[in-house]
Structure 1
Amino acid sequence: MMTSSSVLRWCSGTAAAVGALAATVVLTPSASAAVTITVAADGSGNFRSVQAAIDSIAANNGVPVTINIKPGTYRGVVTIPATKPHLTLAGAGGTAGQVVIVEGHASGQTKPGGGTYGTSGSASVFVNANDTTIRNLTMANDFNEGANNLDAEQAVAVNTSGDRVQLDNVRILGNQDTLLVNAPSTSAVRRLYVRNSYVEGDVDFIFGRGTMVFQNGTVHSLTRGSSSNNGYLTAAATDINNKFGFLFWGTTLTSNAPAKTVYLGRPWHPSGDVNARGQVLYRGVTMGAHIRNDPWTDMSGFSWKTARFAEYSSTGAGAVINANRPQMSASTATQYTPTAYLAGTDGWNPIR
């Protein structure tokens, strides 16, 4: 099939995948017609793997591309390069749990060819492109801490460094450092909007210097079997020049850990960066009994009191108000809304 705006070159599949089609999608910058590609592990789609579908899209594509992923488990790292914006990954199952993208790399694990993955390089899914949407699927890092003995066991499920990224009705599963809200430099602002989703982990499992709104949905803290410290929800590294870091809005905090054993967060200063002054606000959040009465703590010699941590109008057994829990004033709270966090300089507003 050929049109004036796009060229689709289709070739028949191999004998091992009779009926499947391998596709190369070439999109010119002036193209106007959206493109849909189907991925199915059983060979009934255009590709068997998510990465193969992404690789088929020409760099600097000028039209939206939707990759529909049929139910199944897809093992292997998925990378959306910065040169392929306007891409949607959509799980085609009835629930987010029916489509699973998973890998099991950890920071201290040796890579093929030598060296280690490092924290940011351990991700199962890398979202490097702007204007990416991922919906109705699960992204997981299933590195088994108990079966390994590594000095560095950070294992990222999702690393987002693109701007105007949306995660909608997704499940993000891991243990330490599950979701990295990233940015390519301290001066770059990268925005992530997560709606109606579920993320779980234990240590610093939502972290980074990017800007994020986590609206509705659930943040679940996994127990580490401790009677006093079962981890930290956040480790924000927001640059001091960025007013907005992480906003949790109308979200529910749950856990299988004992009462008063989980921290809301601690301040991450990458490489000792003194200008990393994490900004985190829990607003209108329902907090389970697992949240500590002193929910903020120091990290790597940096005091949590020099960060920008606050709560506003939260409820639940874990929403205690005391001297260790800074509360944002009502007048200040008018400046810290989802639209304010996401607007940037271009007025982006994905909220619906």
Structure 2
Amino acid sequence: MSSTRRTARHRKPQRVLAIGVPLALAASGVLAYGSVFGLGEEERAAAAGAPSWATAAADGFASVDALGQNGTYGGRGGRTVTVKTLADLEKYATAPEPYVIVVAGTIDMAPVGKEIKVASDKTIIGSGTLGHIVGGGFFLGRGVHNVIIRNLTIRDSYQGVWNDKEHDFDAIQMDGAHHVWIDHNDLRHTADGLIDVRKDSTNVTVSWNRLSNANKAFGIGWTQNVVTDITIHHNWIRETEQRNPSTDNAAHAHLYNNFMEDAPGTSVTSSYGNYARGKTRMLLENSYFQGMNNPAIRDATAALVQRGNIFSGTKGRNESGGGTAFDPRKFYGYTPDAAGAVPALVKSQAGPRGSLGTATATAATAGAGATAARTLTVAKDGTGQYRTVQAAVNAVPVGNPSRVVISVKPGTYRETVDVPANKPHLTIQGSGTSRKDTVIVYGNAAGMRKPDGSGTYGTPGSATVAIRSDDSQLRNLTVSNDFDEAANQALNGHQAVALLTTADRIVLDGLIVTGDQDTLELETAAKDKPGRVHVTNSYIVGNVDFIFGRATAVIDRSVITLKKRWNGTSAGYITAPSTPAGRKGILIHRSTVDGDVAAGSFHLGRNWHPGGDPAADPQATVRDSVLSAAIKRTPWTDMGGFSWKDDRFAEYMNTGPGAGPKSTDRPHLTDSQAASQEVADWLGDWTP
């Protein structure tokens, strides 16, 4: 921020290889480093510029690093192929190479009941609502891993017998697979179960699916080993008699925000709902049960912990007990929706989506006129085209019309990087398996004098990485400013930016951005210029005003980590927006605020009016997020003589020990206000 602002003094950052994240948070595994990306250099280059559905990664237990696999990202980075025949679908699904397979029509299985044996590293996705698999499904055998099955309708293997013991025709069956994401499918009318997760399959997430019109919805387990970790959320399970789901000997079964419905007046009557069998440990939260018989049951040997569920028109067994709940946030970050909102939410959004799997001309998509992204490689050991990131940036032509990817091999690059405004469509991404493998770090601060004697750096000039060009991206990296405050107490100007953006349509995905004061500066090229930034699946670490600026910024599904200051004290401010009037400011959405700091020591933010500008109208909204006890009971505060109450600060539906009730010192959005403060309202006509 502006050097006219009062300098705060705080702790010396840890050296970059320690990343600067408190050990307590690292141990918790919340949004674990590396869980979002697991690609090699060539795969990243191929994936760059692909539509978001082709590069999507799982949440829940499928996102957790385990068994040698870093999260679940399917065929991302492999070639994208479009299939319309059974022969082509089977050819690519069983191939040893990674593929993104787009199903763009109805494929009839022959013989009926056929289950294609899917190999590892595959994404199988329907093109809009066109992808139908009829009369069969998919099988994932032992050791198969990193598979995404998404946006498909898999239906009609039913053979005329309701509780069929002769035909094991499932929609999706896995025996000993791991890291599987089943998302946004419509599964219905099969001979046996819709989904079977068997024989120690683990690290599975099942999300946003419609499961219906079958005797058995969803079976899990059938082994004496207690190893399966599974997340089941935002599914609509209706008109299924049993296994809704049945969970047998699962180590951790996290079920939340599901809608279980037994509609009256139909031929299907539920026998039971969610069932914890054997030695299962199940956490069942914020789900909605409508008309179900025996909605929640458990064996005497199982643990079933309930919280926040709604039961409407149910009868019979509704059980809990047998042990204490596990904490899913020790494995991954999540924010459950309110149970009352679940039926409408799931009915409108579960199942295949027209926006997923639709054709886009990218480097990974075959078709006339597709333009391949140009890739430049960086390796400090000389095995790439360039030894520094800045050298690769310098090699990008001015006014480049299409995506240029700078693929940076693992290592620590001690340099500053400046992407000028005249080089748009630039992606800088680490090629390691984790965001901590590739580190760009420097240690400039606002008050330090430039080597050429032209004055001090100032706050923006201290940035380790500056992105000034539109439509640019940073992925799978750590960006750090390791300015040593303890050794520079005499310096006037301790602001030390790790990452600066001053452009529009910027994607920051899978990053660690770490510093102390002014870590992440989100600006625009000028006051009258737009500047939208979308931050996802990232860590942002700091202590004073460390997410700030006048850009329109969304921080989504990320972890905001609070640090002590250089002298070990706890006090700070997360946000310091300087939003122009009439624009959106900073939105923190579905994220977690945590860190090894004292309780009640941090503000959510304060209002920055640069240079005392009364026309600024700072805005920050924190919603649907988990707040640690570090957040003050009065979370907003004044800055520079301006009252925060004259600007725009609010919360909505936050949880955790740092959340608090609405008051004059803690404004909350109403439901109608919240409806106009969604991510789409911030990003407008831009879909990252």
8 Å Cα contact 2:543/2:564 also seen in 1: yes
- Is there any run of 5+ residues in structure 1 with no aligned partner, and where? 1-29
Give the counterpart letter for 2:429 in structure 1. A
CA distance in 2, matches of 1:44, 1:101: 18
Asked whether 1:108 is paired with 2:450, we answer no
CA distance in 1, matches of 2:399, 2:593: 39
8 Å Cα contact 2:405/2:428 also seen in 1: yes
- Map of 1:173-212 to 2, 5 A cutoff? 173-212=514-553
Cα shift readout 1:100-137 (whole Å, capped 9, x = no counterpart): 00110000001112210001110000000000011001
CA distance in 2, matches of 1:326, 1:33: 49
Cα gap change, 1:268/1:229 in structure 2, threshold over 3 Å: closer, same or farther? Answer: farther
CA distance in 2, matches of 1:185, 1:303: 25
Asked whether 1:73 is paired with 2:412, we answer yes
Partner in structure 1 of residue 106 of structure 2: none
Partner in structure 2 of residue 261 of structure 1: 601
Per-residue deviation at 1:78?
Answer: 0.3
- Map of 1:1-352 to 2, 5 A cutoff? 32-114=371-453, 115-149=455-489, 150-224=491-565, 230-242=571-583, 244-323=584-663, 324-343=665-684, 347-350=685-688
Per-residue deviation at 1:322?
Answer: 4.2
CA distance in 2, matches of 1:189, 1:263: 27
Q: Which has the higher contact order (CA 8 A, sep 6+)?
A: 2
CA distance in 1, matches of 2:567, 2:680: 38
Cα gap change, 1:248/1:188 in structure 2, threshold over 3 Å: closer, same or farther? Answer: same
Cα shift readout 1:316-340 (whole Å, capped 9, x = no counterpart): 0000114211000000111111111
Per-residue deviation at 1:251?
Answer: 0.3
Cα gap change, 1:228/1:173 in structure 2, threshold over 3 Å: closer, same or farther? Answer: closer
8 Å Cα contact 2:468/2:525 also seen in 1: no
Cα gap change, 1:304/1:228 in structure 2, threshold over 3 Å: closer, same or farther? Answer: farther
Partner in structure 2 of residue 6 of structure 1: none
CA distance in 1, matches of 2:557, 2:526: 29
CA distance in 2, matches of 1:178, 1:321: 29
Cα shift readout 1:42-94 (whole Å, capped 9, x = no counterpart): 00011000000110111001121111110000111101111111111110111
8 Å Cα contact 1:31/1:62 also seen in 2: no
Cα gap change, 1:72/1:138 in structure 2, threshold over 3 Å: closer, same or farther? Answer: same
Cα shift readout 1:18-46 (whole Å, capped 9, x = no counterpart): xxxxxxxxxxxx99442111100100011
Cα gap change, 1:239/1:83 in structure 2, threshold over 3 Å: closer, same or farther? Answer: same
CA distance in 1, matches of 2:606, 2:616: 12
CA distance in 1, matches of 2:566, 2:661: 26
Larger radius of gyration: 2
8 Å Cα contact 1:227/1:261 also seen in 2: no
CA distance in 1, matches of 2:546, 2:404: 30
CA distance in 1, matches of 2:603, 2:638: 11
8 Å Cα contact 2:378/2:389 also seen in 1: yes
Per-residue deviation at 1:185?
Answer: 2.2
Give the counterpart letter for 2:508 in structure 1. L
CA distance in 2, matches of 1:322, 1:37: 51
Secondary structure of the residue that 2:651 maps to in structure 1? Answer: strand
Per-residue deviation at 1:186?
Answer: 2.0
Secondary structure of the residue that 1:119 maps to in structure 2? Answer: helix
CA distance in 2, matches of 1:308, 1:127: 27
8 Å Cα contact 2:549/2:576 also seen in 1: yes
Q: Report the TM-score, using the length of structure 2 for normalisation.
A: 0.45
CA distance in 2, matches of 1:290, 1:226: 18
Q: Report the TM-score, using the length of structure 1 for normalisation.
A: 0.88
Give the counterpart letter for 1:210 in structure 2. A
| Percent of pairs with identical residues | 45
Over 4 Å off, 4+ runs: 225-229
8 Å Cα contact 2:570/2:598 also seen in 1: no
Give the counterpart letter for 1:152 in structure 2. G
CA distance in 2, matches of 1:65, 1:225: 39
8 Å Cα contact 1:228/1:260 also seen in 2: no
Per-residue deviation at 1:184?
Answer: 2.3
8 Å Cα contact 1:225/1:257 also seen in 2: no
8 Å Cα contact 1:227/1:258 also seen in 2: no
Cα gap change, 1:258/1:229 in structure 2, threshold over 3 Å: closer, same or farther? Answer: closer
Give the counterpart letter for 1:105 in structure 2. N
CA distance in 2, matches of 1:195, 1:293: 27
Give the counterpart letter for 2:686 in structure 1. W
CA distance in 2, matches of 1:79, 1:185: 18
Secondary structure of the residue that 2:393 maps to in structure 1? Answer: helix
Count of residues in correspondence between the two structures: 317
Per-residue deviation at 1:227?
Answer: 9.9
CA distance in 1, matches of 2:566, 2:653: 30
Secondary structure of the residue that 1:305 maps to in structure 2? Answer: helix
CA distance in 1, matches of 2:516, 2:473: 24
Cα gap change, 1:225/1:35 in structure 2, threshold over 3 Å: closer, same or farther? Answer: closer
Per-residue deviation at 1:224?
Answer: 2.6
Per-residue deviation at 1:300?
Answer: 1.1
Secondary structure of the residue that 1:36 maps to in structure 2? Answer: strand
Secondary structure of the residue that 1:147 maps to in structure 2? Answer: helix
Secondary structure of the residue that 1:108 maps to in structure 2? Answer: coil
CA distance in 2, matches of 1:47, 1:228: 42
8 Å Cα contact 2:429/2:476 also seen in 1: yes
8 Å Cα contact 2:505/2:533 also seen in 1: yes
| Aligned alpha-carbon RMSD (Å) | 1.6
